[in-house]
Structure 1
Amino acid sequence: MKVLRFGRVAAVIAAGALALTACGGSNTGASAPGAGSNSGGSSRTESLSGTITAGGSSAQANAQAAWTAGFKAQAPGVTVNYDKSQGSGGGVTNFLAGTYDFAGSDAYLKPDQAAKAQEKCGPGGAVNLPVYTDGVAIIFNLKGVDKLQLSSDTLAKIFAQKIKSWDDAAIKADNPGVTLPSTAITTVTRSDGSGTTQNFSNYLHQVAPGVWTSPVSNKWPIAGSSAQQGGSGVVNTVKAGDGTIGYADHSSIGDVKAASIKAGSTYVAFSQDAVTKAIAAAVTPAKTTVAGDLSQDIDYTKLTSGDAYPIPLISYDILCTKFKDAKQAKLVTAYIGYIISDQGQKIAAKNAGSAPIPADLATKISATLKTIS
């Protein structure tokens, strides 16, 4: 699927949102407070006014651009400012500091962050709402090679810098019949705190523990890579090089080539359907003490079938259970309610290439939104 570039999304979506509203649609769950029906516009959103300030996950960037434009068509009095430059780590930091109404993050809050959220939000703390599902793409640029297959062990060895050149025996074994040059491998990673990094390092930690001995972290743990700011920095650096390989949310990769990743005995390419199947097979609710929190854990070791993409990604919008300003709570819950609606998820799927969240999860998020004040 061709993904629209960030700067072009708003104009396209404004028209698309109106078209979807006119066509209607089925509900994925109950509507959020002030959000109206999940299938289209409502006078309740049309009467809203104010500004929402948020930011974080660059993985959500294209989706947030689509959601912002689509919501603006329903609620012309509301301005949503989402800063994608912060990355998940910066988004959470700014949210906890009180700068953002909500944070976008590809990882749910850690225990120490959840404790800090109670200081900002009150005893109820903050909830992690999984609004966006996609996949971590392994992108590469290697002269003369258009298709690439990689097993988890080979991938771990490449990013652990134990494999140094593209004609290594392990890469050849994954790609029979492919002529691989002796070009040196340049790994391209994130320099900022990144939920995408945390997801990818968690994948390597789970599926290749004998190779990947570094901790799961939102900071890249191994020196010697080409470290870049944001997902766009990784994509642009891979695209500009030769022998480069990196990781990024699939929605951001544009026309850069992505490898098929081995699951069981099959190499699986990214697709929305393959991500949906991965989420169904490998995701379970995480342990939490916060009422309404919907953090999810991914067991990557369960993804051994040929129809599930092995590196799915879940991204969250994180917000307080109780806002200091009731009007701001109404604005944010209306916007998140739009995001998880059928219309919001369809717009994200069309313009970011993401996989729609499961209907039962949308219903649970709607229930949580009704408790926020």
Structure 2
Amino acid sequence: MKFKNAAAAGAIALATALALSACSGNGGGSDSTSTATASKTAAAVDYSSLSGTLTAGGSSAQANVQQAWTAAFQAQAGNVKINYDKSQGSGGGVTNWLNGSYDFAGTDAALSADQFTQAKTTCGADGAVNIPVYLSGVSIIYKLSGVDKLNLDSKTIASIFSGAITTWNDPAIAALNKGVTLPSTPISVVHRSDGSGTTNNFTTYLHQQQPSIWTWDASTAWPNSTGSGQQGGSGVVNTVEAGDGTIGYADQSSIGTATAAAVEVGTSGKFVSYSEAAATESLAQSGSITPQGKGDLTVTIDTTKINNAKAYPIPLLSYDVLCKTFKDSNQGKVTAAYLGFIVSSTGQQVGAKNAGAAPLPDSFLSKAAETLASVK
């Protein structure tokens, strides 16, 4: 799904209107002190005085939202150019950033402990910080003739993607979809072939929910030989859509017209389809900040804590990673300003309206604004 010019215009118009509201001194109608703090932090920056070029890349899940944020930010910072390369995936983005090629990296998995240590070589003694910027969900997409609605639970999903369930009329699937005629079509699993934070979020869910079936630890790399691997989220979506009997996983914002299954919350018998509100509720229930260093906002997600039908069971949280101290102070200033815009209430509304992003909880936005204010 490419970002349309009309949508870019909408992002610009929304950002301008919200920025004017934030500067009016009336609080913009926000009912949250922390969101107001984040907005004021962004509004205090004189974007028009900024200049420079930011080079970044990584998470394909962030592709659409980065286009929305870039369009809206550049409307207020006309002398700033932002290049975000979605083709690298989270793994390639982090590698390029650690090599010094990017000002920041987009990744759906926070830096590992080893990468966090490596970042001191890239950034200097102050190291790096993970900033949560984008919230969505991992959708289970499928293409099966005659079936346009499907319920799946964690046990069945883990069994399908591990290769234990191989046909669509398997009794385990049929039990969840009474009244649906399921064909004997073989199941064709499609997964990411590249290092992928979406894979990390998905395998976190599988291992937490069904450790006896999904015996592999969470990882950015697909851990087994089941199915076929495809490059990027778009590769997974296109392959699922081109087949019959196919199933895969992808960030919700990238699935386009693909059909997504409803997923059971725990063992409640309640099957939930993705929505922005359900993703926000999911992170509020399952996420806690577990810093790896001063100012870092790594989030630990425990999907077993998601316990009601207001929440989507497979959250996807994505970060932007940057140095705390830049070798070029202007690059640090511009990068912090752009990411500060992203985590403001204005930026989050731009992402929601133009790319289907779920707003991050207010407490996350407030902490992100505080960390970015210390970047130099």
Q: Sort the TM-score into its range (normalised by shorter chain).
A: over 0.9
Which structure 2 residues correspond to residues 24-173 of structure 1 after superposition, within 5 A?
Answer: 24=22, 25=28, 26=30, 28-30=35-37, 38=42, 44-173=46-175
Q: Given residue 103 of structure 2, which amino acid in structure 1 is its aligned partner?
A: D
Alpha-carbon contact 1:103-1:319 (below 8 Å) kept: yes
Alpha-carbon contact 1:141-1:244 (below 8 Å) kept: yes
Could you say what the CA RMSD is over the residues aligned between the two structures, in angstroms? Answer: 1.6
Alpha-carbon contact 1:188-1:226 (below 8 Å) kept: yes
1:247 paired with 2:254, answer: no
Q: Given residue 6 of structure 1, which amino acid in structure 2 is its aligned partner?
A: F
- TM-score, with structure 2 as normaliser: 0.93
Gaps of 5+ in 1: none
**Alpha-carbon shift at residue 287 of structure 1 (Å):** 4.6
1:229 paired with 2:231, answer: yes
Alpha-carbon contact 1:274-1:307 (below 8 Å) kept: yes
The answer for the alignment partner of 1:6 in structure 2 is: 3
Alpha-carbon contact 2:188-2:247 (below 8 Å) kept: yes
**Alpha-carbon shift at residue 22 of structure 1 (Å):** 4.3
Secondary structure of the structure 2 residue equivalent to 1:219: coil
When residues 192 and 7 of structure 1 are mapped into structure 2, their CA distance, relative to the original with a 3 A threshold, is farther
**Alpha-carbon shift at residue 21 of structure 1 (Å):** 3.4
The answer for the alignment partner of 2:362 in structure 1 is: 359
Q: Given residue 282 of structure 2, which amino acid in structure 1 is its aligned partner?
A: A
Q: Given residue 141 of structure 1, which amino acid in structure 2 is its aligned partner?
A: K
CA distance in 1, matches of 2:176, 2:90: 33
Secondary structure of the structure 1 residue equivalent to 2:46: helix
Alpha-carbon contact 1:29-1:360 (below 8 Å) kept: no
The answer for the alignment partner of 1:299 in structure 2 is: 302
Deviations 1:44-76 (A, max 9, x none): 110111000001011111110000000011100
Tell me which stretches of 4 or more aligned residues in structure 1 moved more than 6 Å.
Answer: none
**Alpha-carbon shift at residue 265 of structure 1 (Å):** 2.1
The answer for the alignment partner of 1:238 in structure 2 is: 240
The answer for the alignment partner of 1:269 in structure 2 is: 273
Alpha-carbon contact 1:29-1:362 (below 8 Å) kept: no
Secondary structure of the structure 2 residue equivalent to 1:6: coil
CA distance in 1, matches of 2:13, 2:317: 28
- TM-score, with structure 1 as normaliser: 0.94
CA distance in 1, matches of 2:100, 2:136: 28
**Alpha-carbon shift at residue 153 of structure 1 (Å):** 0.3
Alpha-carbon contact 2:41-2:369 (below 8 Å) kept: no
CA distance in 1, matches of 2:321, 2:200: 17
**Alpha-carbon shift at residue 17 of structure 1 (Å):** 2.8
**Alpha-carbon shift at residue 13 of structure 1 (Å):** 2.4
Secondary structure of the structure 2 residue equivalent to 1:28: helix
When residues 37 and 369 of structure 1 are mapped into structure 2, their CA distance, relative to the original with a 3 A threshold, is closer
Secondary structure of the structure 1 residue equivalent to 2:35: coil
When residues 170 and 113 of structure 1 are mapped into structure 2, their CA distance, relative to the original with a 3 A threshold, is same
**Alpha-carbon shift at residue 37 of structure 1 (Å):** 5.1
Deviations 1:187-217 (A, max 9, x none): 1100100000011011100101111112321
Q: Given residue 13 of structure 1, which amino acid in structure 2 is its aligned partner?
A: A
**Alpha-carbon shift at residue 295 of structure 1 (Å):** 0.4
Deviations 1:10-38 (A, max 9, x none): 34423343344345434725459xxx754
Secondary structure of the structure 2 residue equivalent to 1:234: helix
CA distance in 2, matches of 1:315, 1:12: 23
Deviations 1:276-334 (A, max 9, x none): 1111111112252x110000001011113222111011100000011001111100000
Q: Given residue 217 of structure 1, which amino acid in structure 2 is its aligned partner?
A: S
CA distance in 1, matches of 2:331, 2:37: 21
Greater alpha carbon shift after TM alignment, 89-98 vs 218-227: 218-227
Gaps of 5+ in 2: 23-27
Give aligned pairs, total: 364
Deviations 1:135-190 (A, max 9, x none): 11111111100111001000000000111110000000111111111111111100
CA distance in 1, matches of 2:310, 2:369: 30
Secondary structure of the structure 2 residue equivalent to 1:104: strand
Alpha-carbon contact 2:10-2:354 (below 8 Å) kept: no
Deviations 1:91-123 (A, max 9, x none): 100000000000000010001111110111111
Q: Given residue 242 of structure 1, which amino acid in structure 2 is its aligned partner?
A: D
CA distance in 1, matches of 2:345, 2:274: 22
Q: Given residue 19 of structure 2, which amino acid in structure 1 is its aligned partner?
A: T
